[in-house]
Chains A and B, each alone.
Chain A
Amino acid sequence: MTAMAAEVSRPDARGRFGAFGGRYVPEVLVPALDELETAWRELRTDPGFVGELDAVLRDVVGRPTPLSYAPRLSERLGYRIWLKREDLAHTGAHKINNTVGQVLLARRLGKHRIIAETGAGQHGVATATACAMFGLPCAVYMGEEDTVRQAVNVDRMHLLGAEVVPVKTGQRTLKDAINEAMRDWAANVRDTHYVLGSVVGPHPFPWIVRDLQRVIGDEARAQYAERVGGLPDAVVACVGGGSNSIGMFTAFVDAGVRLIGVEAGGTGRGAEHCATLSKGTPGVLHGGRTYLLQDEHGQVLPTHSVSAGLDYPAVGPEHAWLKETGRAEYTSATDEQAVRGFMALSREEGILPALEPAHAIGWLLERPLPKGSSVAVCLSGRGDKDLDTVRTWLAERGEP
């Protein structure tokens, strides 16, 4: 976290990463975004704030998280695979890095109520946790479809004292939950802070969430240097909205390391995917200009992924920019590859990963990198929430 003070010059003063980003929201939200931007500009390097956040990250979240070597998988694939263990962070995913930071920020702004959206439920749980810690009421918008496939996390949020609001519009997944959270925010913006869960949305959210998640890569780079020396050949992370991947990439952007984002390839058939950067086109959704899955009329398309956390038709504007400049590469893994990744990590390393980072593992199983490569993979979360999904998947295919 202390490394956060080291400046990354993006976004520019207007919230742009090249041609991407910006602030395309109804007028009523602009003053709140202005207020957030001003506060963040100051707090991100304010020793008092940074110290407070560092203490919470260390004493509650459990940072630094380990960088674990994956010996059996490495041997089988002919790589040296290192796992950045965000699954071991409190609440079981990287999302908590962002939520404790934003809830501390909300307190500084004097906001008395917190709202959030969630897909897989990990961000909702992490927000509910931060709110419980600081005694703030919390409402989490969640697509109805996701409340079913990630039911465990709905229970966790309830037990943590949050209200879970099922969203019944659109496809009833993450995109629709963000729409509903933005509507709530517009109505209650005077006393409410919206803890957006990824590096998406209007400026300054992609910037704030990037700053709060870069701790992942900062730690990983230092841990790698200490354990192995030098830098890995490649850094790999799954991309939904793009927060764990940006968190992982940021520390390596200026180094000669391949940055590889793995999107959800869905069934592999037609439009049943959410590989936004691989297959989308630029447009504006949820307040930012970025890549989108849309039809010729600019209507946002339905998406599909076995993992709720990647099931989103847009992506953070900084990723759009990293793609456009060629600094990062984006690829995808199908539902099936993700489940294979899940099984491989479970059986060969004793780690049940969330289905989101299982896409990154599943992609690696195809041996897409030169033999002998050293790879740091962001293992963004643990798989408890996905056991039903995986069990059903295997049963439907008659696999043990």
Chain B
Amino acid sequence: MTAPLREALPALRAGGGKAFVPYVTAGLAGVDAALLRGLEAAGADAIEVGIPFSDPVMDGPVIQEASRRALEAGATPARALALVREAGLGIPVAVMTYLNPVLAYGERRFLDDATAAGVSGAIVPDLPVDEAGGWVERCRGAGVAAVFLAAPNSSPTRLVAVASASEGFVYCVSTYGVTGAREDLAASARSVVDAVRPLTDTPLLVGVGVSTPEQAREACAFADGVVVGTAIVEPLLRGRPDETLERARAFRAATG
């Protein structure tokens, strides 16, 4: 049986490994079971499967466009979960979505169905930790790791709350702004990781704006891994899943 997110990434960290976690938008053309298996074969340690939302305020143009196309093609949470089940991966899967689709589905039912499909983590970027009391409890009850975001400007008190509520990993937002390509890995990436490090043993992954294998390598010098979205999704918008997999291999090679 696949190890759940809350065990897999900490075990990887304990062994000195670095995590490479690609993100793809469910329902986008080219995002099928074969692609997820391809990402696993390319060496991903876990996969973030995005459930698209009509108003993704945390996302830049590439993932916005991916979400739009996916919704136009009829993407729903149920179909995203069916995809995860069909892929039957040997690595953990976390879903990433916004709060409203989860509320519409029903939080408890969503977590039950997600678990049944083989999902073991959930990231909801518009649900900050202080609004998430009930959610954290329900995630624990369902055996789903709730992942929260730590930002460059989060106060020390908030970081404590984020670190203690997060399971699986803490999503360290590298910079101000939304998902998308950046020329350089922001210096703030390191300061977020440094600030959270003393607060928890949970792995710290850098995400938002990790666009090249080189930046991933830099981030892995101080973090426990990276989440890569835009760079992985962008070739899919051009109908090139082969390039997505090629990029995944390059990120894997760079993260070691």
CB atoms of A283 and B55 under 8 A apart: no
How far is A292 from B176 in the complex, measured between Cα atoms in Å?
29
Q: Which residue of B lies closest to A283 (CB)?
A: B100
Asked if residues B176 and A188 are in contact (CB atoms below 8 Å), the reply is yes
Q: Which of B102, B128, B176 contacts A187 (CB 8 A)?
A: B176
A186 adjacent to B177 (CB under 8 Å): yes
Residue of A28, A170, A175, A182 touching B153 (CB-CB under 8 A) = A28
Q: Are A24 and B177 in contact (CB under 8 A)?
A: no
B interface residues with partner A (beta carbon < 8 Å): 53-58, 60, 64, 68, 71, 76-77, 99-105, 125-131, 148-155, 158, 162, 173, 176-178
Of B55, B68, B130, B153, the contact of A285 (CB 8 Å cutoff):
B55
Residues of B within 8 A of A284 (CB): 99-100, 103, 126
Whole-angstrom distance from the CB of B70 to the nearest CB of chain A? 11
- Evaluate contact between B152 and A28: CB separation under 8 angstroms: yes
Q: B102 to chain A: which residues have CB within 8 Å?
A: 298
The CA of A300 and the CA of B103, in the complex, are separated in Å by 13
Partner of B53 from the list A187, A296, A299 (CB cut-off 8 Å) is A299
Q: Which residues of B contact A104 (CB under 8 A)?
A: none
Residues of A near B126 (CB, < 8 A) are 24-26, 284, 287
Q: Are A26 and B125 in contact (CB under 8 A)?
A: yes
Instruction: List 22 A-B pairs, Cβ < 8 Å.
Output: A23-B128, A24-B126, A24-B131, A25-B128, A26-B125, A31-B155, A169-B64, A169-B68, A179-B56, A183-B60, A188-B176, A189-B153, A283-B100, A283-B104, A285-B55, A286-B57, A294-B100, A296-B104, A297-B104, A298-B100, A298-B104, A299-B101
A247 contacts the other chain (Cβ, under 8 Å)?
Answer: no
* Contact indicator A22/B131 (Cβ below 8 Å): yes
> Given contacts A24-B126, A24-B131, A27-B162, are A190 and B104 in contact (CB under 8 A)?
no
The answer to whether B54 touches A300 (Cβ under 8 A) is yes
B103 touches A298 (CB 8 A): yes
Known contacts A25-B128, A31-B153, A292-B100; A297 and B176 CB within 8 A of each other: no
**In this complex, what residue of B is CB-closest to A299?**
B54
Contact of B127 among A24, A31, A182, A190 (CB under 8 A): A24
A151-175: which residues lie under 8 A (CB-CB) from chain B? 169-170, 175
Q: Which label, helix, strand, loop or mixed, suits the secondary structure of the A interface?
A: mixed
Which residue of chain A is the closest to B158 with respect to CB atoms?
A: A30
Are A23 and B152 within 8 A (Cβ)? Answer: no
B104 touches A23 (CB 8 A): no
3 shortest A-B CB distances, which residue pairs? A298-B104, A187-B177, A298-B101
Residue among A26, A27, A189 having the largest count of chain B Cβ atoms under 10 Å: A27
- Give the contacts of A288-305 with B (CB-CB under 8 A): 292, 294, 296-300
The verdict on A27 contacting B128 (CB below 8 Å), with A182-B57, A187-B178 known, is yes
Q: Which of A71-94 contact B (CB under 8 A)?
A: none
B128 touches A30 (CB 8 A): yes
Considering only residues 172-225 of chain A, those with a C-beta below 8 Å from chain B are 175, 179, 182-183, 186-190
B99 proximity list for chain A (CB < 8 A):
24, 284
Smallest distance from the beta carbon of B101 to chain A beta carbons, Å?
Answer: 4
State how many angstroms separate the Cβ of A51 from the closest Cβ of chain B: 32
Do residues A300 and B76 form an inter-chain contact, with CB atoms below 8 A?
A: no
Using A23-B131, A27-B162 as known contacts, say yes or no to A170 and B55 having CB atoms under 8 A apart.
yes
Indicate whether A175 sits within 8 Å of B177 (C-beta atoms), given known contacts A25-B128, A294-B100. no
In the bound complex, what is the Cα–Cα distance between A28 and B105 (angstroms)? Answer: 26
- A175 surroundings in chain B (CB, below 8 A): 55
Contacts of A23 in B (CB 8 A): 128, 130-131
Which interface residue of A287, A294, A298 has the most chain B CB atoms within 10 A? A298
A sample of 12 more A-B contacts (CB under 8 A), given A27-B148, A285-B100, A294-B100, is A23-B130, A26-B125, A26-B128, A27-B162, A170-B54, A187-B176, A187-B177, A188-B176, A189-B153, A283-B103, A298-B105, A299-B53
List, in ascending order, chain B residues with CB within 8 A of A22's CB. 131
Q: Is the CB of A27 within 8 A of B176?
A: no
Closest to A24 in B: B126
B67 → A minimal CB distance (Å): 10
Q: How far is the CA of A186 from the CA of B54 in the complex (A)?
A: 19
Minimum CB–CB distance from A183 to chain B (whole Å) comes to 5
- Closest Cβ of chain B to A184, distance in Å, is 9
Residue of B with least CB distance to A34 = B155
Distance of A296 Cα from B162 Cα, bound (Å): 31
Contacts of A169 in B (CB 8 A): 64, 68
